[in-house]
Amino acid sequence: MATIRKRRNKNWQAVVRFKGLKSQSKTFERKTDAVVWAKQIEAEMHRGSFVDTSESESVTIHDLIERYLGPLDMSNRTNRIAKSCCDMLAKELGKYSCARLSPSHIADYRDKRLKEVSPTTVNHGLSMLYKLLKLAQDEWGIPFPQGIPKVKKPKRPRGRNRRLEGDEEGLLLDELSDNQVMISVFIVAVETAMRRSEMATAQWQEIDWQRQILFLPKTKNGDTRTVPLSDRAIEALKATPNTGELIFGITANSMSQAFKRACERAGIEGLRFHDLRHEATSRLFEKGLNTMEVATITGHKTLSMLNRYTHLRAEDLVHRL
């Protein structure tokens, strides 16, 4: 039942009470507005379609972010990446309440970020936002009367498809001949499809020489992974100087810089260190391994991502026909 009363400040307060539901109240400057609102709320309560938005009105996106990040261990690389996304969301959208966040707010955020970073980075931010909103709705009991607001994600750019061509592998090995660590890094990269960060943190104690496997306790996505080592990879590792716990003893950035300088000396253009992961993934398929086998080695979570790293040459598939 609705009650309309005049306040001392001359505003009008509408109060709606309904058995089994929390009473609702709202203040208006005009009595007619209070009456219209009260009738609408009463009707929704009678139909069973009423949604109490008081919590979603009071909880901001910044509040959601703090609740989500609170229990996370920031020593985990995946969680640090998530925090980076959340920090940008808090900066641009944190002030809006869950009830007031609209598609236009998100679209403005998307368009502004597209002027600063790549579409892929923008998509990461939007995915994190939708994850927070869905978590709030499904697990934290925060309602979105109009549904979770969504916008169209920017189209991802076409992935790189650069592979080693011609005698580029031989040229690079020649340029790296005075650096055994980098020779080993290069060979292990093209033989295992390991990420640069994974090689930089790989330890001697994680190698099982007899079974020819390398255990990775911490990967980019936070999972563990066991990488099979080819005979060529084993030979490269055995030739690597053992100077401490880490197999290669250099940082991920040092690997990229040394590789870049070798490419420049060899006159190789358009090749990046990360392209070796594309090269290795493609070689695994060319050896006849199936999708699940390759994904197990590379650590790709989805078929779509694995596909972005696979670039098979038609001439290499002729013999399969």
What is the structure's pLDDT at 314?
65
Determine which one of 100, 260, 274, 308 is catalytic: 274
Reported as type and span, the H/E element at residue 238 is helix 231-238
Selected catalytic residue, list 220, 272, 308, 311? 220
Beta strands in the chain (DSSP E): 2-6, 12-16, 24-28, 207-208, 213-216, 225-228
pLDDT digits (tens, 9 = 90+) for 132-161: 999 988 898 888 877 889 899 998 777 778
Q: Is 274 a catalytic residue?
A: yes
64-91 pLDDT tens trace:
999 999 898 887 777 888 899 999 999 9
Q: What is the pLDDT of residues 200-214, one digit of tens each?
A: 999 999 999 999 999
Q: If you average pLDDT over residues 30-51, what whole number do you get?
A: 76
- 270-316 pLDDT, tens digit each: 999 999 999 999 999 888 888 898 888 888 877 777 777 776 666 66
In the residue annotation, 80 being an active-site residue is answered as no
- Residue 189 or 75, more confident: 189
Q: Which of 195, 196, 225, 283 is catalytic?
A: 195
Yes or no: say if 101 and 129 are a contact pair by the CB < 8 Å rule.
no
91 is catalytic: no
Task: Check if 319 is active-site.
Answer: no
Does residue 124 carry a catalytic annotation?
no
| Averaged pLDDT for residues 36-42 | 79
Catalytic residue among 225, 277, 278, 283: 277
Q: Is 68 a catalytic residue?
A: no
Element (H, E) at 265: helix 252-266
Q: Which of 225, 278, 283, 300 is catalytic?
A: 300
Name, in order, each residue with C-beta under 8 angstroms of 277's C-beta and a sequence gap of 6 or more: 189, 193, 194, 195, 298, 309
Averaged confidence pLDDT in the chain: 87
